[in-house]
Chain A
Amino acid sequence: MRVALFATCLVDTMVPQVARATATLLERLGHEVVVPPTQACCGQMHVNTGYRREAVPIVANHVRAFTGAEAVVAPSGSCVASIHHQQAMVARRAGEHALADEAEALAARTYELSQFLVDVLGVVDVGAYYPHRVTYHPTCHSLRLLRVGDRPLQLLRAVRGLDLVELPGAESCCGFGGTFAVKNADTSTAMLTDKMANVLSTHAEVCTAGDSSCLMHIGGGLSRLRSGTRTVHLAEILASTEEHMSPTQTTAPAVPA
């Protein structure tokens, strides 16, 4: 299958290795990956902060960038949820009905990574090797908007060498919430503290999830505390093999602090 990769603005700008891992994984599974060069953002941050009118041109750019794509895959539950639940809505509210229709049609072909692997490609064992102790945080939008269920866990259980430990209080929000992390920084930090306490109670080397945004939040807190536990995106774990272990696929920091 020819798969168009939507890196998402955050991954593209801040953690490009996550998009790279997604591409590596899909190619290893025998699919052709294309990366539309004019892609930018899904518009979620604007919509969720109250700038729904300003989100419309961003949605339009997204729809233009992925015109004609057979299937779009993104390593983010949150962005895919926004594409499914918000893009057409804001376009329609702005009276852009043609754009809304196109956004709806594109959303129907847009998948979060774990859903794409399990539901569309029908694979659970992607041939990955990751010899580390890992705990999985189900991000809110993967869990409640996309209903990815246990698909990420099915994928992780099939990874050779991986020691999967259950995260207590897994379904509680980590406190990221987009601009919530800044506008309500104190409450966000209180939520993060409890999430970190649960992560640390597992003694995992790595906390993984399907959203780089939440991972940046949890990882930023764990790093500030010098906890030694890192956050690694699900795509990076699934892309890892015995033959192909990039520096970012170990649990050690890439650069000494």
Chain B
Amino acid sequence: MAISAASSDPTPLAPGAPRSGTTFLGLPTAPRGVGHLRGTQSFPDAARTALRDGQLRANLGRATTTIRGKRAAVVAEVPHWEQLRQAGKALKAATMARLDEHLEELERQVTARGGTVHWARDATEANRIVTGLVRATGSDEVVKVKSMATQEIGLNEALEAAGIEAIETDLAELIVQLGEDSPSHILVPAIHKNRSEIREIFSRTIPGVDPGLTDEPRQLAMAARTHLRERFLCARVAVSGANFAVAETGTLAVVESEGNGRMCLTLPQTLITVMGIEKVVPRWEDLGVFLQLLPRSSTGERMNPYTSLWAGVTPGDGPQDFHLVLLDNGRTAVLADEVGREALHCIRCSACLNVCPVYERAGGHAYGSVYPGPIGAVLSPQLTGVEDNASLPYASSLCGACYDVCPVAIDIPSILVHLRAEHVEAQTRPTAEAVAFRGLSRVMSNPRLWHLAQRAAGLGRFLARGRPTLPAALPPPASAWTRTRDLPTPPGRSFVQQWTEEHRS
């Protein structure tokens, strides 16, 4: 891929630029220069390149079509799906309203069961905590369960800088890691690769791989199994994320498919879990709602193959040293926005990516953040401050397909529109667009000016010289339309004018 959206290069900082922005309440956003929340190109520029990649388009089209069908089928068999969804939404909203109390309770319960809780203000602090914990074990490698939070903070790069090798064990993450690529999907980070490309990566990078390896998915999965088996059996430290954490019991949950998660959560002596603070749920019974919503929305299964739940440390079973790192990294800034905070309800199922017509064509790398697709377009700009990801709220046609499939009913289109306004209102100097829209607002709120403007638009028909469409070569911004679509020749008179004249009596 030409676009390395989540490249390891830190975003260059202008001299004197602040390390991180703040919101109007003074809450810091995710710092620059660490992690993978910012791309190097705007969405339209990155998409322009991606759209020309025929293989990418074909791979994404095939994969998203498959998963959409599976999801629709398993959702349709739950008669009370809509009520479950509304319950999920309300549970998340209720949790956010008392987030501080639930986190304190979670800390108490995890500690009481032999775990250690750490708090991280941002990516830099979380990376420092995890690196320190790994160093203390004396190990120079960790096995990792796929985790969005650790991708977000760039943990692998931080570990590498400290001389610690991080081994991704999820099949798709492994494909990305071996291919020196970056993830392009929340659930299936290698969705942009097809089976032949994966075969090629494995043949090239896995030592001792069967030279007769075919591109049959089962064979590819077996190659990964063989490659990782020994690493699992030797691993002393594992790093994971968490899908849920139950405050009242201190129970952590990891939802997965392959068993790599179970390997990491069970075999090593030390387990370090990095979790965004918004992942807490208050009560044990709340999992009953989310464990129904997540797998059906995510992989289109009634239930994913494996869900692991643990609280602190269990003598004789699994890691005996457990650390939980609670990560802010801009989440409290999101929480401060009464409209935008709904983005924190996300349970990372990726159903919105799979139905999004923009994602399906541009692919995940174009978003420049580990959170691509519709949810990424509302989450990334809020975590970084909207000016650091200003093109993302516009990377949507507002078709609403994402809102329809969201298992916790996040109104993504409304948040996109809200963030567009936040961006517009953050400009200190008037842009040409703002001047135009302000002028148009005056015109559209004054019938006399509006009728004059309509007459002026009607003059456009002289450009057409009697043809039904205007010339294709118009100046910007009209050219952005006419490069690929004809524009009808405007009529001489508007309908309202015609009607008013006919009915004047």
Contact = CB atoms under 8 A, between A and B. Distances in A.
B444 A9 contact: yes
A141 B401 CA distance: 10
Given A57-B442, A57-B445, A176-B397, A13 B490 contact: yes
Contact of B361 (A7, A19, A191, A221): A191
B51 A12 contact: no
B469 A172 contact: no
A130 B503 CA distance: 28
Contact of A255 (B51, B358, B468): B468
Interface stretch (A41-49, A108-116, A121-129, A236-244): A41-49
B267 to A, nearest CB: 45
A173 B442 contact: no
B113 interface: no
Interface stretch (A157-165, A182-190, A201-209): A182-190
Given A7-B496, A50-B424, A220-B488, A184 B472 contact: no
B444 A185 contact: no
Contacts of B222: none
Interface in B473-505: 477, 480-481, 483-491, 493-496, 498-500, 503
Interface in A152-186: 171-173, 175-186
Contacts of B306: none
B175 interface: no
B293 interface: no
Question: B interface, by DSSP: helix, strand, loop or mixed?
Answer: helix
A13 B437 contact: no
B397 A191 contact: yes
A100 B421 CA distance: 19
Given A140-B398, A184-B47, A186-B44, A51 B481 contact: no
Given A12-B495, A52-B421, A253-B468, A37 B500 contact: yes
B420 A13 contact: no
Given A180-B396, A220-B486, A61 B445 contact: yes
B447 interface: yes
Contacts of B417: 47-48, 50, 52, 86
Given A13-B454, A16-B495, A48-B398, A58 B445 contact: yes
A61 B447 contact: yes
A250 interface: no
A23 interface: yes
Interface string B16-51: 000000000000000000000000000110011001
Among A39, A40, A217, find the residue whose CB has the most chain B CB atoms closer than 10 A. Answer: A40
B357 A172 contact: yes
A224 B494 contact: no
Nearest to A86: B417
A140 B442 contact: no
Contacts of B57: 190
B119 interface: no
Contact of B399 (A49, A140, A189, A224): A140
Given A40-B444, A51-B437, A172-B357, A220 B44 contact: no
Interface in B153-181: none
B52 to A, nearest CB: 9
A140 B499 CA distance: 30
A8 to B, nearest CB: 10
Contact of A182 (B425, B445, B458, B480): B480
Contacts of A224: 472, 484-486
Given A13-B494, A40-B444, A52-B421, A186 B48 contact: yes
B450 interface: yes
Given A9-B444, A13-B457, A185 B466 contact: no
Contacts of B488: 14-15, 216, 219-220
Contacts of B466: 255
Contacts of A180: 394, 396-398
B468 A254 contact: yes
Contacts of A188: 397
A41 B396 contact: no
Contacts of A221: 484-486
A40 B449 CA distance: 10
Interface string A17-43: 001100100000000000101111101
B394 A184 contact: yes
B51 A186 contact: yes
A220 B481 contact: yes
Of listed B51, B362, B397, B398, residue having the most chain A CB within 10 A: B397
B44 A184 contact: yes
A200 interface: no
A134 interface: no
Contacts of A47: 417, 421
Nearest to B424: A50
A200 to B, nearest CB: 15
A188 to B, nearest CB: 7
Nearest to A189: B484
A11 interface: yes
A219 B481 CA distance: 12
B118 interface: no
Contacts of A141: 400
B428 interface: no
B202 interface: no
B485 A220 contact: yes
B62 interface: no
B441 interface: yes
Given A184-B44, A184-B395, A37 B468 contact: no
A41 B358 contact: no
B490 A14 contact: yes
A20 to B, nearest CB: 6
A144 B480 contact: no
A40 B447 contact: yes
A216 B457 CA distance: 16
Given A47-B417, A257-B469, A185 B445 contact: no
B444 A61 contact: yes
B47 A23 contact: no
A172 B57 CA distance: 16
A47 to B, nearest CB: 6
Interface centre among B441, B487, B503 (most CB of A within 10 A): B441
A39 B489 CA distance: 22
Nearest to A59: B445
Contacts of B447: 37-40, 61, 65
A238 to B, nearest CB: 17
Given A145-B400, A184-B395, 10 more contacts: A14-B490, A40-B445, A40-B450, A57-B444, A173-B401, A176-B397, A180-B396, A181-B480, A190-B361, A223-B469
8 contacts: A12-B495, A14-B490, A37-B496, A50-B393, A140-B397, A144-B404, A220-B469, A221-B484
